[in-house]
Amino acid sequence: MSGHMIFRCRGGSLLSIAAMGLALVVMALPAVAHDYMVGKLHIDQPWTRATPGGAKVAGGYVTITNNGSESDRLVAVRADFSADPQLHEMSMNDGVMIMRPVEGGIEIPAGQTVELKPGGLHIMFMGLSEQLRKDETRKVTLVFEKAGEIDLDFPVAPIGSKEPPMMDHSGHGMTN
């Protein structure tokens, strides 16, 4: 009986050590949030890409998961730095890949994840009013039909990136 108690006690200690380790790992992560919740939607890893000087467009990317039981729809995007943010899809036209605005917004079906990424569905920031430089961050508002609006931080990846920028900016600001 007492042996059983000791076993449980040890188990408890191990668990709390593991929990402390996890807390340390969480604390070591950079403070920049890269995932968000709005209503039943989980929004992960928004990012955009640096632009050459004078460029008038930039892409925007984000992953949206609908944990609800009803379909929702990304209907609009707003951003201070873009006169006309649009939602685009890629499609083949006479053997050539083209992009065009998505009619009626992008559906986020119940229980599914929709990824906006280079070469697929994406946000297109038209009419840029300023250059986007790597390591900067831009505020962007996504508007959903049911879940409503949410403001996100879009970190800026280097020109030509196919993937989100590294989130760890430790030391950033000390060297440049």
Q: Could you list the residues that contact Cu ion (CB under 5 A)?
A: 88, 99, 124
The count of residues in the chain is 176
Which 3 state secondary structure label does DSSP give 126? strand
Name which of 124 and 142 has its Cβ closer to Cu ion: 124
Alpha-carbon distance of 137 to 94, in angstroms, equals 38
Closest distance to Cu ion from the beta carbon of 99 (Å): 4
Pairing label, strands 72-78, 137-144: antiparallel
Alpha-carbon distance 67 to 109, whole Å?
A: 9
Rank residues 84 and 151 by Cβ distance to Cu ion and give the closer one: 84
The amino acid present at 44, given as its one-letter code, is D
Query: Considering the complex, what minimum distance in angstroms separates the CB of residue 73 from Cu ion?
Result: 18
Minimum distance between the CB of residue 147 and Cu ion, rounded to whole angstroms? 24
Looking at beta carbons only, is 49 or 88 nearer to Cu ion?
88
- Whichever of 121 and 152 has its CB closer to Cu ion, that residue is 121
Nearer to Cu ion, 111 or 120 (CB): 120
Least distance to Cu ion from the beta carbon of 163, Å?
A: 18
Provide, rounded to whole angstroms, the least separation between the CB of residue 122 and Cu ion: 6
Q: Write the Ramachandran bin of 59: left for phi over 0, alpha for psi from -120 to 50, otherwise beta.
A: beta
Contact criterion met (CB below 8 Å) for 65 and 111? no
